[in-house]
Structure 1
């Protein structure tokens, strides 16, 4: 009787395993088919065929590096020349991260069960955050540039808007793990909602908040540089001009690439260090 039961369990397990493998295989086939069809569609809509231009993929990096090496003596001057634009890019990222994180903190508290000021409005605040992080920064920046004109302000607003949605989702997940006993204690002595959140919740979640905000700051530096290509100022705008001039200005483009690379690496190392200290305590 025991052997029969064991054989039955084994047979059921093998049947489930085969079914799972079959479903996994079907999903893989569907994924590959969608990937191939999407590639063919993109290739047909492209101005030039992908494979027709594949042999030229290294032409631009080669030309850029060749000209940069030929004008290597101009590198220090170019680095000093574009440093103010880099500082502007970092400032845009820093301000937008700060504004976005503050807005995300409020939205996350309003959308967390057990903490929300208006529990029935939780779905509304969650959908707001969904919309905020669903719309790319470049789309928001293009709309704002059309309204406000070019410059760092549209970039800052666009990045802060997207950051609020992205961080709000992460902050709300952190809030769900907060201990509610301090909140209940403050409520029992007549504490307002703001006092309950500020004194009962924020001290618990602040290290994770700061960790996520630092990680987002790294992302926003890159986003700020990219938005420069659409006229939002900063070092991305300088890079667009340098590349647009073509040969003869590639030394300037190489200097900008080098500045961006060094900055992103430095920010990544510094923020990783402080994230580890905040989360792990060492």
Structure 2
């Protein structure tokens, strides 16, 4: 008994020693990386700290000074905002549809070709791992600037993200309806559409709405690299500098209000979908 206790204490001490060593290595690497980055930074991170809020102060100062012009700017940049929301909506719709199809092919117990599960999962990993801005830059080089490269880039990332989430939802679906449909001769597509999708549709829609919020922010960011939308206007106003900061503030406010409104609406529908589905299961 004593030997077991001594062995346990020895293992605990060894684990603590290993964790301490790993923590020290992490701290050393972090400090070394910070020093290297700071040394290569043009102005130096420490030297630039006092100027952190200068840009924000300039933007807020001009916005307050020309507050009477903000409503006109809202109207001016509203079409660009609509373009940004359209990019996000189209990419979410396309990405969700492709993700639904791929999720069925990578779900164990549902996939028609089991050996294809692992390769397709790696494809989803790659789509999630590559940032939208990298894909957008490549597509802009090939297709030129505009909303189409942004839509394709965001849709590809959406396929990777939603494909994984949808497949996890599929794994929790009951197989009894699928088996019943198979017993009467239903094909694989019919079994998926009639036996699986009705069970998981509320979760699909919930995840898709959440992704729509994320894609609005992503489409605004991609505008900085020439992919159209309100991000492109924001880049131009910020690049202009003094004299255009009031317009940049108006764009910030427009984007902020849009994200808040979409977040509230989608949160409402997500709660209704998920809680409604849970209440329905409880009644059954």
TM-score, normalised to structure 2's length? 0.93
Further displaced range: 12-21 or 116-125? 12-21
1:46 to 16, 41, 48: 41
Alpha-carbon separation, structure 1, partners of 2:15 and 2:201: 42
| Larger displacement relative to structure 2 (126-135 or 221-230) | 126-135
Write the distance in 2 (CA, Å) between the matches of 1:258 and 1:196.
Answer: 47
**Cα distance in 2 between the residues matched to 1:216 and 1:34:** 35
Aligned pairs for 1:1-282 (under 5 A) are: 5=1, 11-281=6-276
Give the aligned length. Answer: 277
Matches of 2:94 and 2:111 in 1, distance apart? 21
- Residues in 2 aligned to 1:217 and 1:269: alpha-carbon distance in whole angstroms: 12
Distance in 1, matches of 2:137 and 2:191, equals: 40
Gaps of 5+ in 1: none
SS of match in other structure, 1:52: helix
Partner of 2:243: helix, strand, or coil?
coil
Consecutive unaligned residues in structure 2, runs of 5 or more: 280-284
- Compute the displacement of 1:134 (Å): 1.1
Moved more, 214-223 or 28-37: 28-37
1: CA distance between counterparts of 2:11 and 2:204? 42
Deviations 1:18-50 (A, max 9, x none): 333333322322222222222222222322211
Cα shift readout 1:88-116 (whole Å, capped 9, x = no counterpart)? 10110011001001111111110111111
- TM-score, scaled to structure 1: 0.94
* RMSD, matched Cα: 1.5
